[in-house]
Amino acid sequence: MAKPKVFVSRIIPAAGLDKIKAECDVDLWTEQMPPPYEVLTERVQGVDGLLCLLTDRIDPALMDAAGPQLKVISQMAVGYDNIDIPAAAERNIPVGNTPGVLTEATADLTFALLLAAARRIVEGVQYIKDGKWKTWEPETLLGADLSGATLGIVGLGRIGKAVAQRASGFEMNLIAYDRSATAEQAAELGIRLVEFDELLAESDFVSLHTPLTEETRHLMNAETLGKMKSTAVLVNTARGPIVDPDALYDALKDGTIAYAALDVTEPEPIAPDHRLLSLPNLTVVPHIGSASVRTRNRMAEIAADNLLAGLRGDPLPHQVKP
């Protein structure tokens, strides 16, 4: 019996890839950059399954190009805004993702960025490289304390809650905005629920943990950034387009807010000559929220399990709801 044909749009950890190779005829994209849309459209023709990443646009035209035999789309990510979910549902193609496993690693990075911003770590490294460290100085690179400061969490999903748990260890005051959470649920984590504008006004640190939707696109814009404290720090490890990059540039340059730290950007990747990167009060890392060995191995395993289940006609262990 012939093995099912699948296309895998990037080299993924062997923990998942070896599972797929054992049961499938694999066409693997081995370049560093993602396949261009036109190439992806060609390579999926006739496949039974597709394993993709956030960088791949999976729209109705691509699904139709694959053909009616396409049984499953498995994404190695928790987010799936690159996939047209209603179009997949119309074609009876289940879509899988990798939720939950990213929580701890992303929360760790969120807190790493928060600390780096608060204590101006990246500026300190550059200060030494520029030859400016001549002696100990009482007022050089003064940062913000976390203990006693207020952290405002926008979105109390898995990652938002995990960030709250870390912040409680630093004796921070916790507030959050989440329309689906109850006051009782928040109180169990020592969090007080507030309205969005109240969160912006009270927080010393604002951390974003919402999905990207039409409602949250450019949630942080000139108006909302203007409601934050001038001493506040903004951290985004969710999705780049939640923050308007032009408004953020103006807010950082003009002193509307003190600092920002980003794991995600708009556009992504951000160009090395982008004007945001000229600002000393901004730290950007290249979307590494889930980039720990254990987490990426588990993501690859879940993506492989979703793919193989779909090929067998079984329910996906982690299926996106249409």
Instruction: Specify whether 239 is catalytic.
Output: yes
State residue 97's pLDDT score: 98
Full residue range of the structural domain in which residue 192 is found: 103-284
State residue 84's pLDDT score: 98
Q: Does residue 181 fall inside a structural domain?
A: yes
Q: Does residue 220 fall inside a structural domain?
A: yes
Which pLDDT tens digit goes with each residue over 36-57?
999 999 999 999 999 999 999 9
Q: Helix 103-118 crosses helix 293-312 at what angle (to 10 degrees)?
A: 150
Model pTM above 0.85: yes
Instruction: Give the confidence band of 207 by pLDDT, cuts at 50, 70, 90.
Output: very high
Cα 242 to the chain's mean position, in Å? 11
Please state the rounded mean pLDDT for residues 172-198. 96
Instruction: Specify whether 294 is catalytic.
Output: no
- 203 and 81 in a common domain: no
State residue 101's pLDDT score: 94
State residue 174's pLDDT score: 98
Q: Which residues contact 80 (CB under 8 A, 6 or more apart)?
A: 95, 97, 320
Q: Does residue 126 fall inside a structural domain?
A: yes
What is the C-alpha end-to-end distance of the chain, expressed in Å? 33
- 264 and 200 in a common domain: yes
Selecting among 23, 123, 202, 268, the annotated active-site residue is 268
Query: Where is average pLDDT lowest: 84-88, 128-132, 191-195, 210-214?
Result: 210-214
Averaged confidence pLDDT in the chain: 97
- 177 and 52 in a common domain: no
Which pLDDT tens digit goes with each residue over 219-228?
999 999 999 9
**Residue 217 above 90 pLDDT?**
yes
- 251 and 154 in a common domain: yes
Integer angstrom CA distances of residue 193 from 76, 151, 225, 314 = 32, 12, 20, 40
- 275 and 300 in a common domain: no
State residue 139's pLDDT score: 97
Cβ contact 107:305 at 8 Å: no
- The domain total for the chain is 2
Q: 3-state DSSP call for residue 75?
A: strand
State residue 1's pLDDT score: 81
- 110 and 183 in a common domain: yes
- 213 and 280 in a common domain: yes
Instruction: Specify whether 268 is catalytic.
Output: yes
Phi-psi map region of 218: left, alpha, beta (phi>0 left; psi -120 to 50 alpha):
left
CATH of the domain at 10: 3.40.50.720
- 151 and 218 in a common domain: yes
Which pLDDT tens digit goes with each residue over 272-305?
999 999 999 999 999 999 999 999 999 999 999 9
Which pLDDT tens digit goes with each residue over 12-26?
999 999 999 999 999
The C-alpha atoms of residue 65 and residue 93 are separated, in whole angstroms, by 14
- 114 and 88 in a common domain: no
Which pLDDT tens digit goes with each residue over 141-166?
999 999 999 999 999 999 999 999 99
Q: Does residue 318 fall inside a structural domain?
A: no
Q: Does residue 289 fall inside a structural domain?
A: no
**Residue 112 above 90 pLDDT?**
yes
Selecting among 43, 287, 296, 318, the annotated active-site residue is 287
- 195 and 265 in a common domain: yes
Q: Does residue 175 fall inside a structural domain?
A: yes
Q: Does residue 317 fall inside a structural domain?
A: no
Selecting among 239, 296, 298, 318, the annotated active-site residue is 239
Which amino acid is residue 10, in one-letter code? Answer: R
- 306 and 256 in a common domain: no
Q: Does residue 238 fall inside a structural domain?
A: yes
**Residue 252 above 90 pLDDT?**
yes
- 301 and 256 in a common domain: no
